[in-house]
Structure 1
Amino acid sequence: MKEVKEAFGKLEQYHLLKKDPLVRQHLPHTTNYSKEQLDCFAQAHPVVFIKHNTSGQGRGVYRLAREEGAFYSLKGYSLQGEKIDQSMTLADVHKTLQPFERFGRTRPYIIQEGINSVTTDGQHVNIRVHVQRMDGQAIVGGMYGSTAHEENGITNMRRGADAMPMQRLLSRYLNVKPDEQQSILKQLSAVSISAANLIAHQYDCRECGVDLGLDKELKPFIFEVNITPGIGGFNKMDKRVWKQIIENRKKMSTSL
């Protein structure tokens, strides 16, 4: 088993996850960022996400949406955490993302197909599944949903997203009937465990935070996997789940 790299890139992660037949069905199309790919993705998809390959906490993440004519809406946060909300051409989008390209320095971004994971009233939805390895088996330590009030679609807790129990997200925000909820939860768990197992076989990590969305057919899509996941969202959502994750961590440490 390999050691965890300091910067486990999002593109490297995408190609690793594609190796599993089940997980592959739940991945949005993703590739390395370039001006040419920006043009291609912008033409193919009404919404795309551009993410710095190694940043976290919602920094260096942008939502690009088609507007009228040759203009596009660029919303998100810079690598410094500054809020971005502008309308511009694709040429200007590229200049904004790569301001030092003329000096031969470029920033490593990926570009990802936008999944329309939204509530019935248009708020963007993210689901965090915390997977832990207990006695060699991957289990779901906890799961919660979050919604973003801003139009940039960034549902990171550090960017103002609200955490909530899955039952509340599915019932109140997605209008999923009780008898259908268990099927969705099982899908989310199965996909997350499969993804976490792939990561664990490649890197020495005992926990993963899998971030997913649900498209209009309520099919899960993996946005990314965090191999150093925080659990603050669980503390806000349900302290009992947070305490159980902590207890699992203690058991994991004693089994080494």
Structure 2
Amino acid sequence: MLERSSLYVDFWGRSLHLVWFRAGHFNRERLGFYQGQPEAGYHTLMRRTPKMRRILKIISPIQISPISYNEVNRTMPVDQKNANLGSKWVKTQILLSSPELSRYVPDTSLFSYANLASMLNKHQMVYVKPDKGSAGRGIIRVSRGKISRYWMRSGTKQLRFNSFDEMFIALNAHKLSGIYIIQAGIKLLRLRNRLTDIRIVIQRNEQNKWEFTGIIGRLAHPRKIVTNYHAGGKALPMKALLSPFIKQRADRIEFTARLKELSFKAAHEFNKTNPRFKELGVDIGLDASLHPWILEVNTKPNSIIFKQLKDKTMFRRMLELKRFHGLINPNP
């Protein structure tokens, strides 16, 4: 927990942000850019910035922490009937805080020139994602070839570059505004040569207990890199998704149960952060060995893709619990 009247420092790329808690409210100030080590830049700004001298008159003590933004987001008050945590970076840190879940989380870092170069050298393919956003908007896939060539794909367009710097300039031009993260690219299972993933929804029921309410396969648009419904993704019953890879029905049932258990464990970690979460949508990707990867956790999941299924049982239950918690209009 953050202490009252404490000053926290967050280093986003080469920009300094200060966050503090005073008089019952969180406040944030963007100071500017630094050169060299973050701590050196911090102390330089503290000495030279009139704004900081003014702030320091009303707050103490000072606490420096390069990852303090995670703690700020975990304790930041939320105005909601269902807690909504938008930052992908913060949600990733929540998952990584669990040794049991960390093996299911792709390598992730904040977006910067150095981090992108490092991640591409390590993984060859990465996804550059807006820290806050939904429906797959703004996601860009970047890959590195064996002869120092680079590819960037956004939507249905793919571009090739002969150098990292050339690609990085184009990437910044394509990015949306705001903070971005870099996530290691997982070579997801393909069906009919289209990317796939899985959405699991768990919600608090009438007794305030976590209840599994839905699981669905998602099939990406043939020319796109995301499976989201609003980006042209299509719903798949789990049998249709898993049957080509897991032949026996009993094995499919057991495998699906493991995915559900993984989602409940994620809910347990999020519950530690904020017990007011009413629903979670856990997006899971499978690699060629069927290892599950938690690609993202949505704290305000859209259930519309479940309506595509012929059997509407899951969709109806989701809406029932959303109405119970006041998350949607109580009148159908």
TM-score higher than 0.5: yes
CA contact 1:184–1:218 (8 Å) conserved in 2 = no
How many Å apart are 1:147 and its aligned residue?
Answer: 1.4
How many Å apart are 1:122 and its aligned residue?
Answer: 3.8
How many Å apart are 1:7 and its aligned residue?
Answer: 5.8
Residue number in structure 2 paired with 1:35: 113
What is the distance in 2 between the residues matched to 1:6 and 1:240? 26
| 2:119 counterpart SS class | helix
Q: Are 2:196 and 1:125 aligned?
A: yes
Which of 264, 269, 288 matches 1:216?
Answer: 288
| 1:98 counterpart SS class | helix
| 1:185-221, Cα deviation, whole Å (9 max, x unpaired) | 1111011111122223323320011111011121111
Residue number in structure 1 paired with 2:24: none
CA contact 1:120–1:175 (8 Å) conserved in 2 = no
Q: Are 2:121 and 1:47 aligned?
A: no
Of the two structures, which has the highest relative contact order with CA contacts closer than 8 Å and spacing of 6 or more? 1
What is the distance in 2 between the residues matched to 1:176 and 1:201? 38
Residue number in structure 2 paired with 1:80: none
Which of 197, 212, 218 matches 1:140?
Answer: 212
Pairwise mapping of residues 74-153 of structure 1 onto structure 2 (< 5 A)?
Answer: 74-77=152-155, 83-88=156-161, 89-99=163-173, 107-119=178-190, 121-134=192-205, 135-150=207-222, 152-153=224-225
Which of 220, 232, 235 matches 2:304?
Answer: 232
229 and 6 in structure 1: CA distance in 2 versus 1, 3 angstrom threshold = closer
100 and 26 in structure 1: CA distance in 2 versus 1, 3 angstrom threshold = closer
Structure showing greater Rg: 2
Identity of aligned residues (%): 25
What amino acid is the match of 2:89?
A: L
Cα RMSD for the two superposed structures: 2.6
Task: Flag as ranges the 4+ runs of structure 1 deviating above 4 A.
Answer: 4-7
How many Å apart are 1:225 and its aligned residue?
Answer: 0.7
Residue number in structure 2 paired with 1:10: 88
What is the distance in 2 between the residues matched to 1:122 and 1:130? 26
176 and 37 in structure 1: CA distance in 2 versus 1, 3 angstrom threshold = farther
How many Å apart are 1:250 and its aligned residue?
Answer: 3.8
How many Å apart are 1:168 and its aligned residue?
Answer: 1.2
Segments of structure 1 that go 5 or more residues without pairing to the other structure are: 78-82
How many Å apart are 1:97 and its aligned residue?
Answer: 3.1
What amino acid is the match of 2:159?
A: Q
Q: Are 2:269 and 1:198 aligned?
A: yes
6 and 169 in structure 1: CA distance in 2 versus 1, 3 angstrom threshold = closer
Segments of structure 2 that go 5 or more residues without pairing to the other structure are: 1-74, 327-332
| 1:55 counterpart SS class | coil
| 1:224 counterpart SS class | strand
188 and 6 in structure 1: CA distance in 2 versus 1, 3 angstrom threshold = closer
**How many residue pairs get matched?**
245
| 2:243 counterpart SS class | helix
How many Å apart are 1:252 and its aligned residue?
Answer: 4.4
How many Å apart are 1:65 and its aligned residue?
Answer: 2.2
Q: TM-score, normalised by structure 2?
A: 0.67
CA contact 2:193–2:222 (8 Å) conserved in 1 = no
What is the distance in 2 between the residues matched to 1:160 and 1:106? 24
What amino acid is the match of 1:212?
A: I
CA contact 1:63–1:75 (8 Å) conserved in 2 = yes
Q: Which moved more, 1:8-17 or 1:143-152?
A: 143-152
Which of 260, 263, 279 matches 1:189?
Answer: 260
How many Å apart are 1:248 and its aligned residue?
Answer: 2.8
How many Å apart are 1:106 and its aligned residue?
Answer: 6.9
